[in-house]
Amino acid sequence: MQVGIDKIGFFTPNKYVDMVDLANARGEDPNKFLIGIGQKEMAVADATQDAVSMGINATMQYLDKIEKDKVGLLVFGTESGVDQSKSASLFVKSALKLKPEVRAFEVKEACFGLTAALMIARDFVRVHPDQTAIVIGSDIARYGVNTPGEVTQGAGAISLLVKKDPAILSLNDGHSAYSEDINDFWRPNNSKVAMVDGKYSTQVYLDFFTNTFEGYKKQKNWNTRDFNAILYHLPFTKQGLKANRLAIADQDEATVKRLEDSFEASKQLSMRVGNIYTASLYMSLLSLLENKQLEPNSLVGMFSYGSGAMAEFFSGNIADGYEKEVNVNKTNEMLDGRTQLSVDEYEKIFNDALIDPIDGQELTSDEKSGVWYFAGTQNHIRQYRQK
């Protein structure tokens, strides 16, 4: 029985800042951001968009196309949690009006969270083939205004429906995992912004990629040339480019071109949205599906990395007719419809969002009709509403 990704939904807030504007404001050569980091735009979340609301909105992209009564599991992967006890998945479950019998919980391991959720869902569906699972990765990447990591911020969510006989990607058996207790990136409970050792984290990422990629090929008795595409967690697109260069080193010309072309297709959304932590790898998948024509059964390798650190390499095969499940026009409409902020506007919105609203204060959203948003707290209970 094949199990994998049947539906994919994407959401990012309705505001962004242009990297040329940010570079000029910071006294930097724009090419440092555009080429050196590989980013063009950065999504900005205001106080009304958090991990929960973005996760709801991503799932709403396909909710009317599924049988809600068959959903038996909802797992939410995030490192931007809104409560130290209550799972973000329960807020989502309520908004989506899923049945009470749905098992719902949250998982965390930095940017690895959605991959952990996906693997849990895959195993759940294998045991319960008549049920489906929703897994969500939703995050706001924050390092702070005018910090070294500022250009690698972002906000967004990806939601996946996992079921048997999937319409997008069937997951293959096996994986190569590697973990170590290290301090390349972390966010203490008393901090709204992350702390990172950038150069160290970059090297750890590449080391973990080499370890898991080589281990996976050995496990499966495959070669690099067997892959039609390799996708990466993209904290910024230049990071994935470095890993892809390691993957294609010493390969034949056809393999090099194929994997370079597929990487180019997979980075397009990240260039316009920025880092979305747990969902980043799966935004790469969506970008690949929307920007490259893939043959049925194409082998797609996937490298997931979460600082701290946990990495995993796994793969899947593209389903025949996957094109019916993606809508590049809808994605472009979302991105092109956003409001471009000045740097001053971005700084104010960013800093205001770091301050929790006073209990009882009602927040209003400027998102378009139908979008869910965080409306503040009542008696310290979070309120979510649909515009």
Q: Which of 79, 109, 290, 325 is catalytic?
A: 79
Structure token pair of residue 108: 């965390």
Q: Which of 41, 106, 109, 111 is catalytic?
A: 111
Dist CA 106 CA 12 (whole Å) = 20
- To 10 degrees, what angle do helices 280-291 and 253-266 make? 110
Structure token pair of residue 16: 């962004």
Dist CA 372 CA 55 (whole Å) = 9
DSSP assignment string, 168-203: SEEEPS--EEEE----SEE--TT-SS-EE-HHHHHH
Q: Is 323 known to be catalytic?
A: no
In which element (H, E) is residue 72 found? Answer: strand 71-77
CB 295 within 8 A of CB 318: yes
CB 316 within 8 A of CB 5: yes
Q: Which of 109, 150, 233, 367 is catalytic?
A: 233
Contacts of 301 (CB under 8 A, 6+ apart): 213, 216, 227, 229, 230, 231, 313, 314, 315
Q: Is 367 known to be catalytic?
A: no
Q: Is 111 known to be catalytic?
A: yes
Q: Is the peptide bond before 309 cis (omega within 30 degrees of 0)?
A: yes
- Name the DSSP class of 367: S
CB 151 within 8 A of CB 28: no
Catalytically active residues are 79, 111, 233
